[in-house]
Structures are given as structure tokens and as C-alpha cells.
């Protein structure tokens, strides 16, 4: 546990939840960082303030990732999503939240590396533990297979290897730092650079500044504060790379493809073998650097539909090249080159277009299903699902329409929860639901194509791919949530059914005062034997039984592990002050008992059949 050196207060946030996302515990740091007071609900996704965090945590619940880095309150935080299992069943979920800057600054410089190595050692030990366990199991089963081949051993070994590989894959996955969902605005990039350069007036006295702006009225659209922070970091790095003076060159120009910026210094440069590591979290060439600045720069530029590349020569200097899609002036006039658009206005009109044409594209989807998937429409008609879609609209088209301007993760998950539960209750096959959703994805893109064909708007290549990712992420979020809630409902139903069967499969019948009989009928596997043991001990205690007859004549076959469980029942009953009579033991069961070395003690009687035991019990009752 990481704690402050001056106190016992933990330096990380912690949230403990049930598997369905109900918050059970949360410490003060976790509460202040991400938990909102606007809702009294204990459901995690009702309490989170940050929409981007909701989307990331949803991916964790879906199993897509187990860790990520996100900026919260202007500080980068590392989120670790951990599942706790008991008896192979998911019991709890914990979310650990670490402030990256605090982790790096909490020790003095001469002690920092030692603590870092210690933390890495602890992480390595945990990883080794997670990987060693399945590999030990694999080794054991391979040794058993050398002696006696069993297909079950091979399957278990394979599943354990898969578990080890998955652990290593999770370890190797790297999350990028992310940012708050700041609103897009249109702004003058050159004016922003000039404002940043004014902040460095004192540092520029010993550095020669060359400023070349070819098109100083060029406008771009994006999250202004993110881009400002990225440019600030690049200029700051360039100045710090020239301790003994040098030349800083900031150039800007535009062409039909976009607005371009280059920031060059004549500093120490970057070795070629290190260039590929630029933008990786925690990688730095500075003696006291934290390695997060360039990671945030790369992520900010790329998340604003920009591109970034680096050129450097050791001893000569470094140049960062940035490119952004340019935005037209309000007049919408453009002379020469490719036509560009304001993406924000385009999305607003697209959302309205989808809303106005929901019925039309729902009908187009239904006609497509009737022509190409007759079996599916027939099934939907039988279950009156088709009528519901005709009246309310296609759910995929609706969810894209409602979220095209702003991603509302919580609302998408709530809608998917309702549809997933309904599909599970009506036994609508999950593979048919997925088929419906994927066909609706095609209709959505037909609608988007129609909008851009019929309107005056157009998309650049980068804008198109950004829209493609955004729309498909909305659809995938809905499909993943629908599937998860469908499976969750079915699992819960299966659990209830199994508990009912377990209850009925242990019919302890009182036949006289403090005398009971347990007739065991049908095949008994290890799971059922364990349940019989648990239920029998509870029932014997409740009935205050003094004698219990266990009749095994209705069991065709009992393997060695089950015999062990049954005789644990006998020992447990004896501890409760109840004696046992075993009847109907088959020759195979008797042979198994001999092989296992199980001996019948004085507290247990065996009789050939149930009738003989009942006769003795009758005499016992009369004697009392």
C-alpha cells in the first residue's frame, strides 16, 4: 500500500463495488476525484462526473481493458480495474486511482529510484504470481498425462495456458493519457501561438526567436485549451534544450490540406534510437523529467484530428511538425484547393437529419430484413418484436441520433440494459440480436452517406475517419452493453434454476420422531455431492434428527471423488449427534470404498436395502 511518508493516509483513491457496479465503499480521495453528489444512487455510472471516464470504465466492465490513464482535475491519474473471484465466481470489483505526479514526487530525489525499484519489484512479484499459478497447474497436468493420458487434463492445461497468456497481454497493453471532454471551438492558431510566446519573454533574452507566419488568419477547430497546452510544452522543451543559447524558429503556413506549424530548436537533439519512444508515458531524456509532457502533447494533437511528427539530429537540434484540418471563415468562401467544413455545424445538421428521417430508415431496414433475412422477420413477427420496431424506430438508429453530438454513456447503457433484459426474458436468441444490430449499422451509414450527398457539407479524410470511429463506438457501446445485460440476466436465471434444483435434489423426509431418510436418486457429480452435504447438515440440525437413513440404491454410478464427499456427510452428521444407516450400496461403490481405504466405523451401519432399514427404524421408534 502506498502511503504518505508524513502520515498514514493512503495516497490513492479506492472504490469497492459489487459485480453489477453498485458502490459499497469509497475512500475520500476516490469520492473527491470522480464521485458526484448530484445523485443519491449507489450505482457507479449514476455517480461519475466525467463522461469520458464513464466510457473508459464501461470498457473495463466489458473486459476490453484493465487499466488506463486519464487527466482528472488537470492531473494525470492511473486507473487500475481489479476483479476479485471466489470459487471461480466474480465477487467484487475494485477501482484504484493513483495520481501519477504524486507517485513521482512523493520521495526525495536521492531516494526516489529506490522506491520506484521497490514498487516495480512488488508489481513484478504480483505478475509472477499471476503467471506462475497457471503454469504450475500446466506442469502438473502434463506430468499426469505422461502417466495416464486424459483428455480432461489436456483441456485444463490449455485453459491455464490461455490464462497465463492473457495475463501477459494485459501487462503489455499501454493506455494513453486522456483529457476532459472540453468543447470544440474555432480559433486563430497564430494568435494562440503569439499568446504563448509572450509567456516566455524572460527566457527568450538569450535565445534568437524567428517567427514566420505565412497565413496569420488561418482558423482551426478543436479543444483550444488542449492544443494550447501542447504548444506550450513544445516551446518550453525547445527553450530548455538550448541552455547555452540558440535559435528558436516557429513557422506557420496553410495549404489546401490544412494548417501547418513547425517548432525548431538548435539544442542538443535526440538520439535516433530514442525518437520512436517520444510520446510514450514516463519516457524522458531530462534528468528530472516526469515523461508525461510529450505523452500529453501527442495525445492532444491526435485527439483533435491533427498529426505530429519529429525530426532530430544529435548536436544540431529538433523540429516538431504539426498539422491541423483548417476551418473556413463564417462566410463559407474558399478560393482554390479542397473545400473544408466546420465539423461542429455539420454534426448538428446530421443529428437533425437522422431524427427527422428515423421512420424512413427504420422502414428501409425492415424492408432489407424482409428481402434478405426472411427467417429473422418471421421470428420477429411471431414474437411481436417487428411491430414494436415499426412503432418506436430502430434502436441503433435512435441511439446514434441521440448521441451524435455528445456521448451519453450512462443513457446508452440504461437503454441497452432494458433491451438486453427484454431479449433475455422473451428468449430472443443473442446471435439474432447481434445480426439485427449489425444490419442496422449498415443502414446508419446509408443515412450518413445520404446526408452528405444531399447537403452542402463535405468531409476531409481525417474528418471522415474521426466520424467513423465516433459513430461505430456508439454502436459498439450499445451492442456490448446489450450483450452483457442479456448474459447477466441468463446467468442469474440459471443460478436461480440451479438453486431450485439443488433444493429439490436433497429431499430429507422425516418418517418418525427424530428419524429421517435421504433418498439419493440419479447421477451424482462432485458439485451435487457437495450441495447434498451442505443441505443435509443444515436439515439434520433443523430437525434435531438422531438417525438418518441414506439410501443409495437409486444412484447408478458413483466415482471416487463423490464417495469422499458422501462420507464427509457421514462424519458431519456424527458431529451433530446423529447416527447414519447406509443402504443400497452397489458392488462398484463398495469396491471404490475399498480402493480409497474408507472404513465403516461404529457410528455407521450398512444394510442391504431400504426396507430392512425401515423395519429396524420401526423397532427403534417402538422401543423409544
Task: Indicate which CATH number applies to the domain containing 543.
Answer: 3.30.750.24
Same domain, 371 and 479: yes
- Distance (Å, rounded) from C-alpha 235 to C-alpha 251? 12
Q: CATH number for the domain including 425?
A: 1.10.490.10
- Supply the CATH number for residue 41's domain: 3.30.450.20
Q: Which residues lie below 8 Å from residue 48, measured CB to CB, with a gap of 6+?
A: 34, 35, 36, 54, 57, 410
User: What does the pLDDT read at residue 539?
Assistant: 86
Q: What is the pLDDT of residue 601?
A: 67
**22, pLDDT greater than 90:** no
In a domain, 470, yes or no: yes
Residue 262 above 90 pLDDT?
A: yes
Answer whether residue 547 shows pLDDT above 90: no
* C-alpha–C-alpha distance, residues 19 and 492, integer Å: 12
Q: Do both 41 and 167 map to the same domain?
A: yes
Q: What's the CA gap between 315 and 266, in Å, rounded?
A: 8
State the pLDDT at residue 499. 66
> Is 179 contained in some domain?
no
The dihedral formed by the CA atoms of 593, 594, 596 and 599, expressed in degrees to the nearest 10: 70
**Residues facing 166 on adjacent strands:** none
Residues 96 and 123 in one domain: yes
Please enumerate in sequence order all residues whose Cβ is within 8 A of that of 287, keeping only pairs 6 or more positions apart, or say none.
none
Specify the pLDDT at position 182.
66
Per-residue pLDDT tens over the stretch 149-180: 666 666 776 677 766 666 555 444 333 334 34
| Range from 135-149, 326-340, 422-436 carrying the lowest mean pLDDT | 326-340
Mean pLDDT of 284-312: 75
The answer to whether the CB of 79 falls within 8 A of the CB of 54 is no
At which of 459, 477, 500 does a domain end? Answer: 500
Query: What mean pLDDT do residues 610-622 have?
Result: 73
Mean pLDDT of the chain: 76
**Confidence tier at 337 by pLDDT (50, 70, 90):** very low
- Residue 194 lies inside a defined structural domain of this protein: yes
* Domain span holding position 521: 509-623
Q: Are 34 and 48 in contact (CB under 8 A)?
A: yes
Average pLDDT over residues 505-520: 81
> Are both 526 and 600 inside the same structural domain?
yes
Residue 104 to residue 116: CA distance in whole angstroms: 8
d(C-alpha 30, C-alpha 250), whole Å: 42
pLDDT of residue 114: 45
Same domain, 36 and 166: yes
β-pair partners for 550: 518, 582
Same domain, 77 and 152: yes
- pLDDT bin (cut points 50, 70, 90) of residue 215 is confident
Asked whether residue 156 is assigned to any structural domain, the reply reads yes
Can you give the CATH number for the domain in which 236 is found?
Answer: 3.30.565.10
Q: What is the mean pLDDT of residues 507-522?
A: 82
351 and 450 both lie in a single domain: yes
At 532 the pLDDT is 82
Residue 204 burial by Cβ neighbours in a 10 Å radius (0-12, 13-18, 19+): middle
* Better-scored residue on pLDDT, 618 or 423: 423
Q: Is residue 335 part of a domain?
A: no
Q: Which of 127, 149, 172 is the last residue of a domain?
A: 172
154 and 21, same domain (yes or no): yes
- Whose CA is closest to 57, among 483, 478, 485, 410? 410
pLDDT of residue 170: 47
Contact indicator for 367, 386 with CB cutoff of 8 Å: no
Q: How far is CA 403 from CA 72, 221, 414, 478, in A?
A: 23, 20, 13, 11
- The DSSP secondary structure of 550-580, one letter per residue, reads EEEEE-S---HHHHHHHHHHHHHHHHTT-EE
For residue 307, list its beta bridge partners. Answer: 323
At 218, is the secondary structure helix, strand, or coil?
coil
Instruction: Specify which of 114-118, 124-128, 293-297, 537-541 reaches the highest per-range mean pLDDT.
Output: 537-541
C-alpha to C-alpha distance for 574 and 123, rounded to whole angstroms:
48
Cβ atoms of 68 and 56 closer than 8 Å: yes
* Highest mean predicted confidence (pLDDT) among 233-237, 272-276, 323-327, 562-566: 233-237
Beta-bridged to residue 15, according to DSSP, are: 26, 95
Does a structural domain hold residue 333? no
Q: What phi, psi does 385 have (nearest 5°)?
A: -85, -35
Residue 346 has pLDDT above 60, yes or no: yes
Angle between helix 461-504 and 409-425 (nearest 10): 40
**Stronger pLDDT, 274 or 196, i.e. the higher one:** 196
- In this model, does residue 574 exceed pLDDT 80? yes
Find which of 173-177, 308-312, 615-619 is predicted with most confidence, using mean pLDDT: 308-312
198 and 121 within one domain: no
| Residue 208 near residue 246, CB atoms below 8 Å | yes
Q: pLDDT band at 292, cuts 50/70/90?
A: low
d(CA 376, CA 371): 10
d(C-alpha 229, C-alpha 223), whole Å: 10
On whether residue 2 sits in a domain, the answer given is no
Q: What is the pLDDT of residue 104?
A: 60
Q: Which of the residue ranges 124-133, 295-304, 472-481 would you say has the lowest mean pLDDT? A: 124-133
Helix (H) or strand (E) holding 341: none
Reference 238, options 257, 251, 225, 222; nearest CA is 251
Is residue 336 a part of any domain in this protein? no
Average pLDDT over residues 247-267: 89
Q: For 425-448, how does the pLDDT look when each residue is reduced to its tens digit (9 = 90+)?
A: 878 888 888 888 888 888 888 888
Same domain for 163 and 194, yes or no, is no
Nearest in space to 77 (alpha carbons), one of 108, 63, 46, 56: 56
Q: Of 472, 500, 528, which one is at a domain's C-terminal end?
A: 500
For the record, the C-alpha cell of 369 comes out as 430484413
Quick one: average pLDDT of 274-296? Answer: 64
468 HSE (CA, 13 A, CB side): 9
Q: Is the pLDDT of residue 519 over 50?
A: yes
Same domain, 409 and 280: no
Count of domains observed in the chain: 4
Sheet harboring 185-188: ordered strands across? 185-188, 219-222, 326-327
What are the phi and psi torsion angles at 428 (to 5°)? -75, 120
pLDDT of 319 over the 90 cut: yes
Task: Place 115 in a pLDDT band, splitting at 50, 70 and 90.
Answer: very low
Per-residue model confidence (pLDDT) at position 129: 56
Confidence at 322, pLDDT banded by 50, 70, 90 = very high
> What percentage of the chain carries pLDDT values higher than 90?
5
* Model confidence band, residue 535 (pLDDT cutoffs 50, 70, 90): confident
- Please state the separation of Cα 254 from the chain's center in Å: 41
For the cut 60, the answer to whether the pLDDT of residue 81 exceeds it is yes
- The span from the CA of 277 to the CA of 288, in Å, is 18
pLDDT at residue 283 in the model: 59
Cβ burial, residue 355 (10 Å; 0-12/13-18/19+): middle
493 with 520, same domain: the answer is: no
**Residue-wise burial string across 96-108, b where 16 or more C-beta atoms lie within 10 A, e elsewhere:** bbbbbeebbebee
pLDDT at 341 over 60: no
Amino acid at each position: 500500500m502506498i502511503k504518505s511518508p508524513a502520515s498514514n493516509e493512503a495516497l490513492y483513491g479506492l472504490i469497492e463495488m459489487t459485480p453489477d457496479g453498485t458502490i459499497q465503499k469509497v475512500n475520500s480521495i476516490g469520492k473527491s476525484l470522480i464521485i458526484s453528489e448530484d445523485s443519491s444512487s449507489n450505482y457507479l455510472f449514476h455517480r461519475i462526473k466525467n463522461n469520458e471516464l464513464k466510457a473508459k470504465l464501461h470498457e473495463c466492465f466489458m473486459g476490453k481493458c484493465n487499466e488506463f490513464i486519464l487527466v482528472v482535475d488537470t492531473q494525470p491519474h492511473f486507473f487500475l480495474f481489479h476483479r476479485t473471484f471466489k470459487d471461480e465466481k466474480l465477487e467484487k470489483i475494485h477501482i484504484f486511482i493513483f495520481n501519477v505526479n504524486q507517485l513521482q514526487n512523493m520521495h526525495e530525489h536521492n531516494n526516489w529510484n529506490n522506491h520506484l525499484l521497490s514498487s516495480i519489484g512488488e508489481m513484478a512479484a504480483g505478475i509472477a504470481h499471476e503467471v506462475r499459478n497457471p503454469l504450475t497447474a500446466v506442469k502438473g497436468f502434463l506430468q499426469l498425462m505422461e502417466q495416464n493420458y486424459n483428455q480432461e487434463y489436456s483441456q485444463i492445461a490449455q485453459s491455464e495456458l490461455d490464462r497465463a497468456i492473457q495475463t501477459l497481454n494485459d501487462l503489455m497493453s499501454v493506455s494513453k493519457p486522456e483529457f476532459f471532454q472540453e468543447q470544440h471551438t474555432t480559433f486563430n492558431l497564430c494568435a494562440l501561438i503569439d499568446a504563448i510566446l509572450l509567456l516566455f519573454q524572460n527566457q527568450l533574452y538569450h535565445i534568437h526567436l524567428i517567427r514566420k507566419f505565412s497565413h496569420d488568419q488561418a482558423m482551426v477547430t478543436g479543444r483550444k485549451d488542449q492544443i494550447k497546452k501542447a504548444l506550450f510544452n513544445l516551446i518550453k522543451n525547445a527553450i530548455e534544450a538550448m541552455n547555452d543559447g540558440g535559435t528558436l524558429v516557429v513557422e506557420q503556413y496553410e495549404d489546401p490540406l490544412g494548417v501547418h506549424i513547425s517548432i525548431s530548436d538548435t539544442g542538443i537533439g535526440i538520439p535516433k534510437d530514442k525518437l520512436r519512444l517520444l510520446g510514450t508515458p514516463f519516457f524522458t531524456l531530462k534528468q528530472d523529467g516526469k515523461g508525461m509532457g510529450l505523452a500529453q502533447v501527442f495525445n492532444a494533437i491526435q485527439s483533435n484530428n491533427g498529426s505530429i511528427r519529429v525530426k532530430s539530429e544529435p548536436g544540431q537540434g529538433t523540429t516538431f511538425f504539426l498539422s491541423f484540418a483548417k476551418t473556413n471563415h463564417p462566410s463559407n468562401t474558399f478560393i482554390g484547393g479542397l473545400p473544408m467544413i466546420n465539423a461542429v455545424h455539420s454534426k448538428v445538421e446530421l443529428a437533425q437529419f437522422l431524427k427527422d428521417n428515423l421512420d424512413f430508415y427504420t422502414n428501409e431496414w425492415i424492408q432489407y430484413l424482409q428481402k434478405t433475412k426472411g427467417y429473422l422477420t418471421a421470428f420477429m413477427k411471431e414474437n411481436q418484436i417487428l411491430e414494436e420496431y415499426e412503432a418506436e424506430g430502430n434502436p441503433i438508429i435512435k441511439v446514434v441520433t441521440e448521441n451524435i453530438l455528445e456521448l451519453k454513456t450512462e443513457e446508452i447503457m440504461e437503454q441497452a440494459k432494458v433491451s438486453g433484459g427484454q431479449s433475455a426474458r422473451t428468449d430472443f436468441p443473442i446471435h439474432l440480436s447481434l445480426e439485427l444490430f449489425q444490419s442496422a449499422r449498415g443502414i446508419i451509414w446509408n443515412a450518413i452517406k445520404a446526408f452528405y450527398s444531399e447537403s452542402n457539407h463535405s468531409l476531409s479524410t481525417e474528418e471522415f475517419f474521426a466520424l467513423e470511429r465516433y459513430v461505430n463506438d456508439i454502436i459498439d457501446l450499445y451492442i456490448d452493453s446489450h450483450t452483457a445485460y442479456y448474459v447477466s440476466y441468463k446467468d442469474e436465471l440459471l443460478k436461480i434454476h440451479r438453486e431450485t434444483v439443488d433444493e429439490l435434489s436433497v429431499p430429507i423426509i422425516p418418517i418418525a420422531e427424530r428419524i429421517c431418510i435421504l433418498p439419493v436418486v440419479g447421477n451424482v457429480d462432485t458439485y451435487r455431492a457437495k450441495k447434498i452435504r451442505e443441505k443435509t447438515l443444515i436439515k439434520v440440525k433443523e430437525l434435531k434428527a438422531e438417525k438418518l437413513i441414506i439410501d443409495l440404491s437409486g444412484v447408478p454410478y458413483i466415482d471416487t471423488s463423490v464417495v469422499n464427499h458422501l462420507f464427509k456427510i457421514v462424519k458431519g452428521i456424527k458431529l451433530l449427534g446423529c447416527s447414519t444407516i447406509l443402504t443400497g450400496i452397489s458392488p462398484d461403490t463398495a469396491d471404490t470404498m475399498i480402493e480409497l481405504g474408507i472404513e465403516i466405523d461404529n457410528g455407521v451401519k450398512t444394510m442391504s436395502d431400504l426396507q430392512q432399514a425401515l423395519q429396524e427404524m420401526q423397532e427403534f421408534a417402538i422401543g423409544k
